[in-house]
Structure 1
Amino acid sequence: MAFPLFVFPLLLLSGEHVFCRESAPSSAHQVMKISNGFMAELFQAFNEDHENLVFSPFGFASNIFMLLEGSSGETASEIENAFHFNNESLGNMRSGFAYYYDIFEENKGDSEAAGSYNKIVVEKDILLRPLYKDLMTLIYRANITETPGNGSGLELHSDVGILSHWRDFERLPVYVFLSHETAAPFYLSKSESSSSENEIYVPMIPQVGVFRNGYDKKMKCSIVELLFEAKSVSLLLLIPDETEGLKSIIENLPSLSIPFLLNTLTQSEVEVSMPQVAFVNQMLDFSPILKKRGIGKAFDPEIADFSQASSGKSLYLKSLTQSSYFTSSFSSIKSVAEGLPKLKPKELRRKRNTNRLSANHPFLFFIIFRETGLILLAGKVESPTQTP
C-alpha cells in the first residue's frame, strides 16, 4: 500500500526550552510509542558484539518511515506488516517526527546539544521525485547526497548523539565541593575481565543534588535521572545491585516502559558517581533486523518497488545504518548548581537517609526526551575505557 506524498504543515514551536512549551501533540506521543518499542529488539541484536553500546531507537524509527515514504505496492505492504503499522498511525507520523526534529534544530546551537540527523545517499543516475525530496528535507531533515556511479542502491543513515564536556570553569568551587575522583575502581563483569584482574581505575564523576530516583525489585537495580545542561533531555541510569546483574536487566527490557518507569521515581537528595566515558558505535547495520522481520523485497533490485521515491524501476535498499555517540563528563553540573540550595545542611548529608549510588560496575543508560519519554539513545557501559 503506497503512502500518499503530501506534506503536513510543520509545527510552530515557541519558548526557550522544551519544558516551557505547551504539551506535546498526540502525534509526538505516537512516535514515542513506536520508536521506544524498538529498544529491546535493537539492544538484544547488538548486545553481544559490543562491550560498550550506544544506539538510537528514534534514529532507526526515522529511517524506517523514510523508507516507507518511498515505497509502493508489495514492498510497502511488506514493511507495514513487518512493523504492524496501519493507515491511522501513518497519518500522524509526519507531524510527530517534525515536532522532534524542529526541537533538535532549535537547540543545535546549545553548548550541550542532543539530536538525530538523517542522510540519504543515492547514485547520480537515480532521480528522486521532487515530492519525496521535499518530504525528506522538511519532515525528516535528511541531507540528500549524490555519489558517482551507475547503480541503483538507496542508502539510509542516521547520526544520533549528545555531547557533554568539560566547561563552565567559573563553577570551579562546585567542582571542588563535589571532590572529583581522578582514579577510582570500576569492577568488570567476568566476561570482560581476565582471571587475574577484575577492576580498572577510571575517572569518576560525582553528582550531588535532588534528583528523581527509585528502585526496581524485578530488575534488582537502582534508578536515577540526571539532568543535562540542555534540559530538554535527561540521563537515566539503571545500576544493577551486582556486578553481574546487567544480564537480568537486559532480559527484562521487552517489558520495560520508560514513561511508566519515570512516573515511579520520586525526588530526594542523592549522591551519584559514574565513570567519565566517551564512545561511538559506528555504522551499526540494521539490515539483518529488517530481514529477520520478513522484509526482503526492499533489498531485491529486481522486485523492489520504491516508485514513490523515484521513477526508476530498479531502485532498491542497499543499506540502513546508524552511528551513535555518547559522552559524559560533568553532564548535570547545571542541575547540581541549581540544586545546591535545596540540599540539606552539610552535617546532615552524611546521614543514612541520603541515598548514595555508584555506577562502578556495568550499567545501562538512556537519554530521554523529557516531555514525552522518547528514548533518544540507549546503551550500556561494561568497560569505561573506550574513546572515539
Structure 2
Amino acid sequence: MFDFNLEFARGGAKVTTELFELLADGGVKQNIIFSPFSIQACAALAFAGASGETADQIAEGLKFASNFHPEVAETFQFVFDKYKDSELLKIANKLYIQEGYLLKADYETSLKESYNAETENVDFAESESTAATINSWVEDKTAGKIKDLVQPATFDALTRLVLLNALHFKGSWANKFDEEETAEDDFWISEEESIKLPFMNKKAKFGYGFFEELDCQALEMPYNNSDLSMLVLLPNEREGLKSLAEKLKSVNLVDLAANLDDGDNIVVKFPKFKVEFEVELTETLKKLGIDKIFSDEAEFSNMLEAPEALHVSNVFHKAVIEVNEEGTEAAAATAMIMMARCMLVDPQFIADRPFFYAIWNKRNILFAGAFVNAPIA
C-alpha cells in the first residue's frame, strides 16, 4: 500500500534542501533559519482553495505527496494530529478574511476539519489595526518569538485574505550540557579567519555518522520525551558548507536517518547561538515552479463566495532559533497575502566551522538552517 505520509516526508526533505540552496544562493554568507513545514502548511491553505494548474504547481513545487486535495489534506492532518497534545511543538493555522466576504462552504469545511484552521473577519482597509491583530496572533502562537511578521503597508482595500501558519518548538536535550563545561573557543568562518564563540561540551550517547559522499559528519541530538531531534551535518572542510549544500540535492535527508549509529561516547563540542531570519518568498517560490499564484491567471475560485478573482501578492516568512545548554527553542511563521485582481577512539564532533542543521522526527523537517558566523546578542 502506498504510504502517502512517507512520501510527504520525503518530499518535505527534498523541498528543504531546495529551499536551503535558494536561500543560500551565492554561498552561505549569513545565518539561516527557516521552517519548510510552515511554508508548506501555509501554502496548503491556498492549495485547498486552488484548482487546475495553480493547484498542480503548488503541489509539485512544494513536493506534496499528491495533487489530489483529500490526499494532501490527509498528510497534513497526520502531522497535526501527531503533535496536537505535544508540550514541545505547537502548530496553528488561521485565515483572516475581509469583512463582508464569506468563504465557500466546502473550502471552510476543509480548512477546519483537515487543517485545524481558525477564521476571522477583519477590515483590511484599516491597515494599522489589522496588522496589529495579525501580528498579535502570530506572537501569541509563537510564545512571543515572532514579532511584526506583517506591516500595515501590506494591506489595502483590495486585500481579501491572509493565510497564516505559526510554529513553536521548545525542547530540552535528552543529554543536557553542563553550563560549567561551556568555554570560549575559535569558530572558523573561513579557512584562515576565526571568531570567538561559547562552545558547549559533552561526552555522551548521540546518533553519529560519517557520510563520505557528502564529505561530512552527522550528529543527532535527541530532545527529551519526544521523537524530535536536531540533526547536524558538519562539513569536513572549514569552507565546505557551500559544497555540502550542492551535494544535499543528490540525497534525501530521510534516508540519512537509517545510517546513523548510536555511539555511547561521542565527544561533542557545539556552539551556543541565537539566529533570526526573515525573507519574502515570492521569487523563491517562482524558482520552485510556483508562479501562477502570483499572476492574473491564478485559479482560486474555490475560496470566496464573491465572484472575484484572487492572486497572491506576498509571502512572508520569519523564523528564530536559540540553542543553549538546556535545549532548543525555535519558532516560525508564514503569511500569504491574497489580493483581488487589480573513528577507533571515541568519535569527536567538533562544530567549529559552518554547518547545516534541522529539527525533525527523522521524517518531517520542522526547521532547517545554517550557522555560519557570530550569533545575535
What are the within-5 Å matches in structure 2 for residues 1-388 of structure 1?
26-48=3-25, 51-79=30-58, 90-107=69-86, 110=87, 113-148=88-123, 149=125, 150-164=157-171, 179-189=180-190, 198-268=193-263, 269-282=265-278, 284-300=279-295, 302-312=296-306, 313-331=308-326, 353-370=345-362, 373-387=363-377
Residue identity opposite 2:211 in structure 1? D
2 CA distance for matches of 1:57 and 1:358? 27
Per-residue displacement from partner, 1:52-71 (whole Å, max 9, x unpaired)? 11112222222232211101
Instruction: Note closer, same or farther for the CA distance 1:204–1:31 as it changes in structure 2 (3 Å cut).
Output: same
| Percent of paired sites with the same residue | 22
The gaps in structure 2 that reach 5 residues or longer are: 126-156, 329-342
Structure 1 residue 117: deviation in Å? Answer: 3.3
Paired residues of 1:306 and 1:315 also in contact (CA < 8 A): yes
Distance 1:93 1:72, change over 3 A: closer
Judged with a 3 Å threshold, the aligned counterparts in structure 2 of structure 1 residues 147 and 281 are, in CA distance, closer, same or farther, namely farther
Could you state the TM-score of these two structures normalised by the residue count of structure 2?
Answer: 0.76
1:297-321 Cα offsets, whole Å, 9 max, x none, are 4223x54331211122233222233
> What SS is found at the alignment partner of 2:238?
coil
* Kept after mapping to 2: 8 A contact 1:159/1:323: no
CA distance in 2, matches of 1:215, 1:232: 22
Output the amino acid matched with 2:267.
E
What whole-Å deviation, never above 9, does each CA across 1:144-178 have from its counterpart, x for those lacking one? Answer: 34332231443333333533479x9xx9xx865x7
Report SS of the residue matched to 1:251.
helix
Mapped to 2, the partners of 1:260 and 1:82 lie a distance apart of: 21
Q: Which amino acid aligns with 2:89?
A: A
* SS of residue in 1 equivalent to 2:197: strand
Output the amino acid matched with 2:107: Y
Q: CA deviation at 1:254?
A: 0.9
Q: Distance in 2 between matches of 1:212 and 1:72?
A: 43
CA contact (8 A) 1:156 1:320 kept: no
Deviation sequence 1:223-257 (CA, Å, 0-9, x none): 11111124220011111122111111111111121
Cα 1:213/1:263, change in 2 over 3 Å: same
In structure 1, how many angstroms separate the alpha carbons of the residues matched to 2:90 and 2:365?
A: 11
Residue-by-residue CA offset, 1:156-207 (whole Å, 9 max, x unaligned): 33333533479x9xx9xx865x7422422212126xxxx8xx2222221223
Larger radius of gyration: 1
Which letter maps to 1:236?
L
Report the count of equivalent residues. Answer: 326
Aligned AA for 2:167? Answer: V
Determine which structure has the larger strand proportion and give its number.
2
Q: Is 147-156 or 78-87 further displaced after alignment? A: 78-87
Is this contact kept in 2: 1:164–1:329, CA < 8 A? Answer: no
For structure 1, the 5+ residue unaligned runs are: 1-24, 334-350
Aligned to 2:130: none
Verify the 8 A CA contact 1:160 1:324 in the aligned structure 2.
Answer: no
